Chain A
Amino acid sequence: MVLPLFLLCLIGALDAGLWAVQTSAEVSAVEQAARIASSAGSSPTSETAPDARAVTAVIAGQLHSALFGTTVEIWCATTAGGGCAPDATQRCPTTPAEVQAADGPRVVAVCVSEADPPACTTPPPGQTAPYPPGCDDSPMITVRVIGFVASLVPPGFGPGARGFELPTDISATTHTLRFAP
């Protein structure tokens, strides 16, 4: 009785440690990726964020070394030319299950998306330009690491659909830095 329980506790503690290491790596990778993605990219006057592939390439090594048994994928809608679609049109997965359905178990996707402010319009009487407020803001960039990471949790115990995995969803959002008018 005590031995199985001891083993269960030991595995639980090991898994908690493993999860903490993996999540910490994801948090620091996402922060680093957000800083890169919010920077001016290839040119100071660039109007779009760096390509998701470029951002992922920078943090992939960091993620690969920490996410044991987990595959790191780039989440992007490919264009006809083989590159990623512009970040402004990118739609990131909203749940880890969405990544699992698309890429399989124990896969995390790195997604970069850009949210543009509302377009400026002619202000109504009594309001000053630019209108609506915030329309002249720089776009916001979000880097998200989402999916299922490998773990020791057996099937039926964890929130993962297939066992031996735990869901993860870490993101970082910041405004982009643009010198263009």
Chain B
Amino acid sequence: MRRRRRRGENAQAVLETALVIPILLLLVCNFIAVMVEVTVQQQLNSATALAAQSRFQAPQNAVDRPGTRCCGAHGVTLVTSGLPTGCRYAGETFYGTMTAYTGLLHWQTVTLCTSGGDSGNAGTPPSQPRAYPGSPANADVSCDMGSVKPGGLVVPGYTDRALNPPSGLDVVTCSASASLDFANTPLAWGVFWTPTLHAQAEALPPPFRQ
């Protein structure tokens, strides 16, 4: 009778262990995945913020000459001829900063350089930015910025009407989106979700800028 009871207890312990082990591993895998997601999101925020800011490192009216290329990832080169130099600076900064965790990310391709766009307010409807003519459409980051074309034609940037209301302020915005894929990592064993990360940064022109 006692031996039978002990055998039953052993069987129960084995069964409990068999149930608990996968649950524990699943919890740990998902916790690690969340930590990775938080870290990659922060890296993405940092890269887009620096990209938006770097537009102001370029001369205000500079335009890339024919034959200018830049950055890109996975062997892709972006041709930036005829685009504002600040746009190329933003791309170079983004790709130069977003170097970690790239194997986990599937980027949503966007147009590198856009103009216009309005956040809108009570009196003005919001509007979407438009691509600069000739801007590469296979970039991982998109930056909306104004420029002055040869001949003096002013192309507006993104108007943020939350700043200096109601007329708004012409700012630079950069955004990037990517999905985080754990399929090629050991975490794929227990992580069955693919989060989409999005970062958007806005940079205001420095007050001393002419």
Interface residues of A (CB under 8 A from B): 1-2, 5-6, 9, 12-13, 16-17, 19-20, 23-24, 27-28, 30-31, 34-35, 38, 127-128, 130, 132-134, 137-138, 140, 142, 169-177
Q: A17-B35, A140-B92, A173-B97 are in contact. List 13 more A-B contacts (CB 8 A).
A: A1-B17, A17-B31, A28-B42, A31-B46, A35-B53, A133-B67, A137-B85, A137-B89, A169-B100, A170-B43, A171-B99, A174-B54, A175-B58
Q: Which residues of B contact A (CB under 8 A)?
A: 16-17, 20-21, 24-25, 27-28, 31-32, 35-36, 38-39, 42-43, 46-47, 49-50, 53-54, 56-58, 64-69, 85, 89, 92-93, 96-97, 99-100
User: Is chain B's interface secondary structure helix, strand, loop, or mixed overall?
Assistant: helix
List 3 A-B pairs, minimum CB-CB distance, nearest first. A173-B96, A20-B35, A175-B57
Q: In the complex, are the beta carbons of A16 and B100 less than 8 A apart? A: no
Say yes or no: B28 contacts A13, CB within 8 Å. yes
Known contacts: A16-B31, A133-B65, A177-B56. The answer to whether A23 contacts B39 by CB under 8 A is yes
Interface pair A5/B21, CB less than 8 Å apart: yes
Number of A-B contacts (CB under 8 A): 106
Q: In the complex, A46→B24 CA distance in Å?
A: 57
By the criterion CB–CB under 8 Å, are B39 and A24 in contact?
yes
21 contacts between A and B (CB under 8 A): A5-B21, A9-B28, A13-B32, A17-B31, A17-B35, A20-B38, A23-B42, A24-B38, A24-B42, A27-B39, A34-B97, A35-B50, A133-B64, A137-B89, A171-B97, A172-B46, A173-B93, A173-B97, A174-B54, A175-B92, A177-B57
By the criterion CB–CB under 8 Å, are B38 and A133 in contact? Answer: no
A12/B28 in contact, CB under 8 A? yes
Report B-chain residues with C-beta under 8 Å of the C-beta of A1: 17
* A31/B92 in contact, CB under 8 A: no
Q: Which residues from chain A contact B25 at a C-beta distance below 8 Å? A: 9
B-chain residues with CB within 8 Å of residue A12 when the two chains form the complex:
28, 32
Given A1-B17, A5-B21, A173-B92 contact (CB < 8 Å): yes
CB pair A27–B65 under 8 Å, yes or no, is no
Residues from chain A with a CB closer than 8 A to the CB of B35 are 16-17, 19-20
